[in-house]
Amino acid sequence: MARVTLLDPNTVTGKAKDMFERVKRYYGMVPALQKGLAYLPQTTDALWSLSQATVQEGSIREELKRVFFAVTSREVECQYCTAAHMLALRVKGWTVEECVEVIDGKPSRRLTDKENAAVDFARTVGRRPAAVTDDLVDKLRAVGWTDPEIVEIVASVALMRYTSTIAVALDVPLEKAMVDLLDNPGARLTRGSD
């Protein structure tokens, strides 16, 4: 159960209603995360815009960014966000087992060596940003990542750390599809925050 009352999209007015309608157009529903944060409709709307920009801007494909999001969510112990991005990867054709493998730190057969290196870097940034060293960045460059792409990876992780903080601290409840996913024996993830 959430630590704050989740706002009802059917009863809110003003900026919160506009923001809920924007989110609903994208998802077909309003996720619990937005319902919990909607007490701050401008912040929620800005976060939504930032999320869209982070996914769309730059040269890294959305699928790889979703992997960054899932890995980061796991590193910061947010089951809500981990499950949300596993669902997004499932839509891209990933199996539950493939999602769990990459989240658990194994190289993904679905990704190139270059992309797996970026996932490992994202995991480090997600776990502890201060652990990033010049050597780690140089290793990314050595496999072909450019400075703009390195910034793109870090920005993706930063977005997910922010979002995960909200979900964990407010104990945002899992969506039904997340519960169903986590109930899959292959998921090996625990429900709720770690």
Assess whether 52 and 132 both reside in one domain.
no
The CA distance from 189 to 172, in Å, is: 17
75 is a domain residue: yes
Q: Are 49 and 24 in contact (CB under 8 A)?
A: no
Assess whether 162 and 180 both reside in one domain.
yes
Assess whether 34 and 15 both reside in one domain.
yes
pLDDT digits (tens, 9 = 90+) for 148-175: 999 999 999 999 999 999 999 999 999 9
Assess whether 25 and 116 both reside in one domain.
no
Assess whether 64 and 50 both reside in one domain.
no
Q: What is the pLDDT of residue 193?
A: 39
pLDDT digits (tens, 9 = 90+) for 57-108: 999 999 999 999 999 999 999 999 999 999 999 999 999 999 999 999 999 9
Number of other CB atoms surrounding residue 186 within 10 Å: 12
Q: Are 78 and 95 in contact (CB under 8 A)?
A: no
Q: What string of DSSP letters covers 2-41?
A: -SSPPPPTTT--HHHHHHHHHHHHHHSS--HHHHHHTTSH
Q: Are 57 and 43 in contact (CB under 8 A)?
A: no
The CA distance from 109 to 10, in Å, is: 43
194 is a domain residue: no
pLDDT digits (tens, 9 = 90+) for 173-194: 999 999 988 887 666 654 333 3
From 189, 163, 167, 161, select the one nearest 32 (Cα to Cα): 167
pTM reported for the whole predicted model:
0.92
The total number of structural domains that make up the chain: 2
Q: What string of DSSP letters covers 93-148?
A: T--HHHHHHHHTTPPPTTS-HHHHHHHHHHHHHHH-GGG--HHHHHHHHHTT--HH
Here the CATH number for the domain that contains residue 66 is 1.20.1290.10
Assess whether 127 and 182 both reside in one domain.
yes
Here the CATH number for the domain that contains residue 48 is 1.20.5
- Domain residues for 72? 60-187
192 is a domain residue: no
